[in-house]
Amino acid sequence: MKVLAINPGSTSTKIAVYENYTCLWKYGIDHLASEIQTFSHVSDQYEYRIEHILKLLKEKGSPLESFDGIVGRGGMLNPLVGGTYLVDQYLVDSLKNATSGEHASNLGGIIAFHLGQRTNVPVYIVDPVSVDEMEPVARLSGFPELARLSQSHALNMKAVARKAARMLGKAYHEVNLIVAHLGGGISVSPHRKGKMIDVNNANNEGPYSVERCGTLPCSQLVKLCYSGKYSEKEMNTKILKEGGLFAYLGTKDAREAEKRMDEGDSYAKLVLEGLCYQVAKEIGAMATVLAGEVDQIVLTGGLAYSEFITQEIIRRVSFISSVTVIPGEEEMEALALGALRVLNGEEQALTYK
Ligand X SMILES: Nc1ncnc2c1ncn2[C@@H]1O[C@H](COP(=O)(O)OP(=O)(O)OP(=O)(O)O)[C@@H](O)[C@H]1O
**Interface residue list for ligand X (CB under 6 A):** 153, 183-185, 210, 252-255, 301-303, 305-306, 329
Residue 115 near which of ligand BUA, ligand X, none (CB within 5-8 Å, type-dependent): none
Q: Which is nearer to ligand X, 295 or 312 (CB)?
A: 312
334: left (phi over 0), alpha (psi -120 to 50) or beta: alpha
Q: Which is nearer to ligand BUA, 105 or 321 (CB)?
A: 105
Dihedral, 55, 59, 62, 63 alpha carbons, nearest 10: 50
Does residue 290 touch ligand BUA according to CB under 6 A? no
Between CA 48 and CA 311 the distance in angstroms is 42
- The stretch near ligand BUA (CB under 6 A) out of 148-156, 252-260, 285-293, 342-350 is 148-156
Q: How far apart are the first and last CA of the chain?
A: 28
Q: Which is nearer to ligand X, 170 or 255 (CB)?
A: 255
Residue 129 near which of ligand BUA, ligand X, none (CB within 5-8 Å, type-dependent): ligand BUA
Candidate residues 42, 95, 129, 339; the one interacting with ligand BUA per rule CB under 6 A? 129
Does residue 153 touch ligand BUA according to CB under 6 A? yes
Residue 151 near which of ligand BUA, ligand X, none (CB within 5-8 Å, type-dependent): ligand BUA
Cβ atoms within 10 Å, residue 52: 15
Does residue 116 touch ligand BUA according to CB under 6 A? no
Does residue 151 touch ligand BUA according to CB under 6 A? yes
In the three-class reduction of DSSP (H, G, I as helix; E, B as strand; rest coil), residue 134 is classed as: coil
Candidate residues 185, 214, 244, 301; the one interacting with ligand BUA per rule CB under 6 A? 185
Does residue 204 touch ligand BUA according to CB under 6 A? no
Does residue 5 touch ligand BUA according to CB under 6 A? no
Q: How many residues bind ligand BUA (CB under 6 A)?
A: 7
Cβ atoms within 10 Å, residue 143: 9
Identify whether the C-beta of residue 82 lies closer than 8 Å to the C-beta of residue 154: yes
Candidate residues 7, 94, 203, 278; the one interacting with ligand BUA per rule CB under 6 A? 203
Q: Which residues contact 203 (CB under 8 A, 6 or more apart)?
A: 151, 185, 212, 239, 240
Q: Which is nearer to ligand X, 82 or 185 (CB)?
A: 185
Rounded alpha-carbon distances, angstroms, from residue 292 to 115, 221, 278, 296: 46, 33, 19, 11
Residue 45 near which of ligand BUA, ligand X, none (CB within 5-8 Å, type-dependent): none
Q: Which is nearer to ligand BUA, 185 or 207 (CB)?
A: 185
Strand partners, 132: none
195: left (phi over 0), alpha (psi -120 to 50) or beta: beta
Does residue 334 touch ligand BUA according to CB under 6 A? no
Dihedral, 157, 124, 148, 202 alpha carbons, nearest 10: 40
**Structure letter (DSSP) for residue 261:** H
Residue 16 near which of ligand BUA, ligand X, none (CB within 5-8 Å, type-dependent): none
CA 23 from chain centre, in angstroms, equals 21
Between CA 187 and CA 209 the distance in angstroms is 10
Residues that bind ligand BUA (CB under 6 A): 129, 151-153, 185, 202-203
